[in-house]
Amino acid sequence: MESIVALIEGVCWEMVGLSIVRVKASDRWMTAYLDPSIKMRPLRKG
């Protein structure tokens, strides 16, 4: 959890699965997947 929090510190977020995160930025919720290297890849909401 520490790694995830550090990546998106200052941004509202919530875990919705083992490797799926919802991030709130600019008043929009974006879905992002965490890959094995724990990098966030924002996906289009759609």
Fill in the amino acid letter for 31.
Answer: T
How many folded domains does the chain comprise? 1
> pTM of the prediction?
0.27
Nearest alpha carbon to residue 28 among 42, 9, 7: 42
Three-state DSSP state, 20: strand
How confident is the model at residue 46, as a pLDDT?
Answer: 45
Q: Which domain holds residue 30?
A: 2-43
Rounded to whole angstroms, the Cα distance separating 11 from 3 reads 14
Strand order in the sheet with 28-34: 12-15, 20-25, 28-34, 40-43
Tens digits of residue pLDDT in 1-46: 444 544 455 555 555 555 666 666 666 666 666 654 544 555 555 4
